[in-house]
Amino acid sequence: MATTYRICPRSGLQFNSDAEKLMRWHAVAGVLSLLVGGIMALGVILTRWPAVKLLEADTFYMVLTAHGLNMLIFWIIFFEMAVLLFASSTLLRCRLAMPRLAWFSFWLMAIGAVMTNIAVFQGESSVMFTSYVPMMAKPHFYLGIILFAVGALLTCFIFLGTLVVAKSEKTYEGSVPLVTFGALTACIIAIFTIASGAIILIPTLLWSLGYIREIDSLMYRTVWWALGHSSQQVNVSAHVAIWYAIAAIVFGAKPMSEKVSRTAYFLYILFLQLASAHHILSDPGLGSEWKVVNTSYFMYFAVFASMIHGMTVPGAIEQAQRLKGYNKGLFEWLRKAPWGNPAFSSMFLSLVGFGFLGGISGVMMGAEQLNMLIHNTIYVPGHFHATVVIGTTLAFMGLTYFLVPVLFKRELLFPGYAKIFPYLFGLSMYMVALVMMGAGTLGVARRHWDMSFAGAPMAYEWPGAAYLMMGLTGIFGTIACVSGGLWILQIVFSLLFGKKLEEGEKLSMPIPLTLPAPTPGGAAHPPATPGTMVLALIFLTAFILYYFVNWKYLSSLWGMA
């Protein structure tokens, strides 16, 4: 069958027909997973809200399991596979390698996701996202995750194959674009992640079938976290690539330095996966050398890389804006940014929230001593809701506003909601992350159905602030769930009922969708970026203060006699 292409008149992007259909199916499957995970999120939030306590304990753990798997695995990875297809076939303007295998991979992922969800909702696999042994789920729970992972692994190899196709057919010259390089980083981390998952989940499946007598719990935790945490590092690489893409789409921004940005991605490839160890910092059995090397010495290279991206993305935007004439003072470039364009506002809120809330708290948790302050408290979900929801999900949602007209050829319905959505969802998630971390600092446990431990022989009296913050988690979490639900409805309605955009037809929606355009002047020396430098210094100040405040807090817990 001949390969066919379409050039989008609105973006100038060239879509290979096979890749385009696959991107749509992956994106739709991802949004369906997000819908299930979002409904479950409401159940979790309304149960952990002490004044509401919606669900019974058994139902709560089932709902929490479904929430974790659908959000942290299915939604994210389906969407990331769409990003890999886009970053290879579309950005390199080439055919997709092995399209039949790509469809097979998609269906493996879809069958796996459905199978695991069935296992969870049957009620006998409430082992949560981590599925720690010796808690045992039904065999089809593990089998579903394995099938999903194999499908994703095959798509990663199809991405690599497409890079080979593009190079051999000379569809690009020199190095691949930076966004594609970011996707390559995500792909490499995904391959490590999925292989680690296979190493531990295949024996766990055999254990649940009765072929293996036992699985060592520490061995399970160590290997499983190479899947559990590294899968979230795939997100980081993917959403940073999306930050660069949105900066290029909305502003025509070019990276401040391709070398620096690529080197930062290279540091991700080498070191980002090692952060998995911070889940095991309080476990006996593993030595301090292993813990410190993994979560501190080497991990700081990856933290350094994130700080580079956090500076170069707004820096590239500042340069593009200054070239357009927004030169007054430190921040005119930022004030005059298109804050009503949801692709931009989502990206910027994602960048700031990921850095200030997710990044700083992640580094604090990665120090072995400080980790003891918050280990297994609700601080941990506070941290990863800042990275995965604010950092990744919000960036993906913002990109989706670009994809509806470009990939799905539909006009976006309810554009007024699109303008306010990033603030409604993003800022409520900022609050959720903050109050969760606040409650965690006071010691409130993560995952537990009843924070008050009512009826337990060793009850604990929490300070009023802990209940207040868990109540605020409920309020802001509900706002985030409802606004996220409305986003899903908006996207689904737009895909089903939005006006079909014919080839060549321009958008009539009022959301500005600026396309990459040559920046005027062609300056030999790009403008300086003092505004970004000030933002970076504010970030560093917050980082240092928060880090040392926690050491102070730790020292006050154990007074020296």
Partner 1 sequence: MADQEERIPVMQQVLDNPFLLLFLGITIPTVIYLMWGVMEIANIPVAH
Taking the complex as a whole, the smallest distance from the CB of residue 375 to partner 1 amounts, in Å, to 18
Distance from C-alpha of 73 to C-alpha of 468, rounded to nearest angstrom: 31
Which is closer to partner 1, CB of 72 or CB of 188? 188
Taking the complex as a whole, the smallest distance from the CB of residue 236 to partner 1 amounts, in Å, to 14
Taking the complex as a whole, the smallest distance from the CB of residue 525 to partner 1 amounts, in Å, to 22
Distance from C-alpha of 16 to C-alpha of 14, rounded to nearest angstrom: 7
Taking the complex as a whole, the smallest distance from the CB of residue 438 to partner 1 amounts, in Å, to 31
Note the residue count of the chain.
561
Distance from C-alpha of 8 to C-alpha of 310, rounded to nearest angstrom: 30
Taking the complex as a whole, the smallest distance from the CB of residue 530 to partner 1 amounts, in Å, to 29
Distance from C-alpha of 246 to C-alpha of 346, rounded to nearest angstrom: 10
User: Roughly what angle, to the nearest 10 degrees, separates helices 394-406 and 464-497?
Assistant: 10
Say which residues have a Cβ less than 8 Å from residue 392's Cβ, sequence separation at least 6. Answer: 76, 232, 235, 236, 238, 239, 350
The binding site for partner 1 (CB under 8 A) comprises: 160, 163, 175-176, 181, 184-185, 188-189, 191-192, 195-196, 199, 216, 218-219, 222-223, 226, 230, 259, 262-263, 266, 269-271, 273-274, 276-277, 280, 285-287, 290, 293-294, 298
Tokens 């007598």 found at: 213
Which is closer to partner 1, CB of 128 or CB of 280? 280
- What is the torsion angle, in degrees rounded to the nearest 10, for the CA atoms of residue 421, residue 229, residue 371 and residue 46? 40
Taking the complex as a whole, the smallest distance from the CB of residue 320 to partner 1 amounts, in Å, to 24
Taking the complex as a whole, the smallest distance from the CB of residue 274 to partner 1 amounts, in Å, to 5
Tokens of 23: 């991107």
Is residue 126 a contact partner of residue 117, using CB atoms and an 8 Å limit?
A: no
152-185 in b/e form (b: 16+ CB < 10 A) is bbbbbbbbbbbbebbeeeeebeeebbbbbbbbbb
Taking the complex as a whole, the smallest distance from the CB of residue 187 to partner 1 amounts, in Å, to 8
Which is closer to partner 1, CB of 34 or CB of 264? 264
Tokens of 491: 């996207």
Q: Where are the beta strands (DSSP E) in 276-336?
A: none
Which is closer to partner 1, CB of 273 or CB of 321? 273
Sequence letter at residue 30: G
Which is closer to partner 1, CB of 175 or CB of 555? 175
Taking the complex as a whole, the smallest distance from the CB of residue 36 to partner 1 amounts, in Å, to 31
Integer CA distances (angstroms), 121 to 41, 48, 425, in order: 15, 20, 27
Which is closer to partner 1, CB of 293 or CB of 442? 293
Taking the complex as a whole, the smallest distance from the CB of residue 154 to partner 1 amounts, in Å, to 15
Which is closer to partner 1, CB of 119 or CB of 165? 165
Which is closer to partner 1, CB of 189 or CB of 205? 189
Which is closer to partner 1, CB of 108 or CB of 277? 277
Distance from C-alpha of 407 to C-alpha of 401, rounded to nearest angstrom: 10
Distance from C-alpha of 268 to C-alpha of 299, rounded to nearest angstrom: 9
What residue spans of 49-138 are helical by DSSP H?
57-69, 76-85, 99-121
Distance from C-alpha of 89 to C-alpha of 85, rounded to nearest angstrom: 6
Tokens of 285: 């059995």
Other CB atoms within a 10 A radius of the CB of residue 542 amount to: 13
Taking the complex as a whole, the smallest distance from the CB of residue 174 to partner 1 amounts, in Å, to 8
Distance from C-alpha of 391 to C-alpha of 359, rounded to nearest angstrom: 10
Say which residues have a Cβ less than 8 Å from residue 329's Cβ, sequence separation at least 6. Answer: none
Which is closer to partner 1, CB of 54 or CB of 293? 293
Q: What is the sign of the dihedral through the CA atoms of 69, 71, 75 and 81?
A: negative
Which is closer to partner 1, CB of 8 or CB of 264? 264
Taking the complex as a whole, the smallest distance from the CB of residue 38 to partner 1 amounts, in Å, to 32
Which is closer to partner 1, CB of 270 or CB of 475? 270
